């Protein structure tokens, strides 16, 4: 058994002052104020001083980092990416696909499934972020709001195609982005929901009625809100009218100050509340790298001055989750505890990761060790400290 101490701890529901956390076999055994817990004999205690212990960050929408794209099969590149993510406080992530020819998409899903199964068998912690499941972004997207997704590879939603993707991923698809206005979308939404997939509305030109009906069919989240969506109009509110007004929908946002203006992030958080918001990075292989050309699936993207562009359009980001947490404090005027929740508990609940995003007995011992300003000082993966 080992133990961690610090100035305070965010569960993130509550704050524990002068906490002590007892770790056994990679999980949290006991947790509480130092004066209320007895440290077993011969237990090593790591004291993080004036820092704050928070759950490890969970990124449910990320295409790559550190030069690696998640649709590439090379495991060495994936290891580099996962080591990079840990230094940003991320302990769990959902590799996110990009629309591609069906054969390439099926192949990517197969190797991602293998990576996820390998990670789940490693109970000791490996000083890297862990892939928990797949986020399928495409091919069921709107041509009108496709962003940089290749138009020739977009497909009409069908249960047959969805099942092929599901089988290739061996059931590891945990999230799926879909445009609800497409013919066949409601049937696919209902089937995916039945299989436990979090269906997310995105890359969509849907009107208000189609968006509302998709929630009735089982959709319960929104992908990078405002981006690749029909704009909000006071007479024709469209998909954003449903997202902003329906408390049954949670929503995520890219809080880099580039994809969405800070004022609109404040509006979004005011409408949805921090309890229903999720921070994502939408990071690509260029994250953590110098200006240059990088891959996003089968696409080549140029990174220059902090923006990832292809054909004049934004193509993902180089945002890191720790930066997103700090930006959210500034843009939406949240305190650190509230902002941490949007990067931990909320995304874990959206994706169904029950032992992640929260610090309590029985949860995995994944921590981000933060300063009061949200800077990452260390990360703990299954009880293993990564400075």
- The pairing of beta strand 8-10 with beta strand 250-254: unpaired
207 belongs to the catalytic site = no
Kindly state the tokens that stand for 63.
Answer: 């295409």
The Cα 47–Cα 61 span in angstroms is: 33
Phi-psi region of 25 (alpha: psi -120 to 50; beta: other; left: phi over 0): left
Task: For residue 32, list its beta bridge partners.
Answer: 20
Kindly state the tokens that stand for 349.
Answer: 């609940």
Which is nearest to 54 in space by CA: 261, 275, 356, 264?
356
Instruction: Give the Cβ contact number of residue 386 at 10 Å.
Output: 18
Contact (Cβ atoms closer than 8 angstroms) between residue 254 and residue 280:
yes
Contact (Cβ atoms closer than 8 angstroms) between residue 52 and residue 370:
yes
Kindly state the tokens that stand for 125.
Answer: 């912690």
Phi-psi region of 138 (alpha: psi -120 to 50; beta: other; left: phi over 0): left
User: Does residue 294 have a cis bond before it (omega within 30 degrees)?
Assistant: no
DSSP 1: -
Task: Please identify which of the residues 69, 153, 252, 282 carries the catalytic annotation.
Answer: 282
Instruction: Report, as residue numbers or ranges, the catalytic residues.
Output: 282
């Amino acid at each position: 058994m080992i133990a961690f101490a610090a100035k305070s701890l965010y569960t993130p529901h509550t704050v524990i002052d002068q906490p002590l956390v007892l770790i056994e076999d990679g999980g949290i055994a006991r947790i509480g104020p130092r004066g209320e817990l007895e440290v077993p004999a011969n237990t090593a205690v790591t004291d993080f001083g004036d820092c704050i212990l928070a759950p490890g960050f969970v990124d449910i929408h990320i295409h790559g980092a550190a030069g690696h794209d998640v649709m590439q099969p090379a495991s060495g590149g994936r290891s580099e990416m996962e080591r990079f993510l840990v230094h940003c406080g991320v302990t769990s992530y959902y590799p996110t696909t990009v629309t591609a020819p069906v054969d390439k998409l099926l192949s990517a899903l197969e190797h991602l499934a293998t990576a996820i199964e390998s990670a789940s068998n490693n109970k000791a912690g490996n000083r890297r972020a862990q892939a928990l499941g797949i986020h399928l972004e495409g091919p069921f997207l709107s041509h009108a709001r496709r962003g940089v997704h290749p138009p020739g590879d977009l497909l009409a939603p069908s249960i047959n195609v969805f099942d092929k993707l599901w089988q290739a991923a061996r059931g590891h698809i945990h999230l799926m982005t879909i445009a609800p206005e497409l013919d066949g979308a409601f049937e696919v939404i209902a089937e995916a929901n039945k299989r436990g997939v979090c269906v997310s509305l995105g890359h969509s030109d849907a009107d208000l009625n189609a968006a509302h009906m998709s929630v009735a069919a089982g959709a319960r989240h929104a992908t990078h809100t405002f981006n690749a969506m029909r704009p909000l109009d006071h007479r024709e509110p469209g998909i954003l009218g449903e997202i902003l007004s329906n408390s049954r929908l949670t929503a995520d946002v890219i809080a880099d100050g580039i994809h969405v203006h800070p004022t609109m992030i404040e509006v979004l958080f005011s409408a949805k509340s921090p309890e229903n918001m999720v921070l994502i990075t939408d990071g690509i292989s260029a994250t953590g790298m110098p200006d240059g050309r990088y891959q996003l699936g089968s696409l080549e993207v140029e990174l220059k001055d902090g923006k990832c562009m292809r054909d004049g359009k934004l193509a993902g980001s180089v945002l890191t989750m720790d930066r997103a947490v700090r930006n959210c404090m500034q843009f939406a005027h949240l305190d650190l505890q509230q902002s941490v929740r949007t990067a931990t508990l909320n995304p874990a609940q959206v994706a169904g990761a029950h032992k992640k995003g929260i610090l309590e007995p029985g949860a995995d011992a994944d921590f981000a060790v933060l300063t009061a300003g949200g800077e990452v000082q260390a990360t703990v993966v299954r009880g293993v400290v990564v400075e």
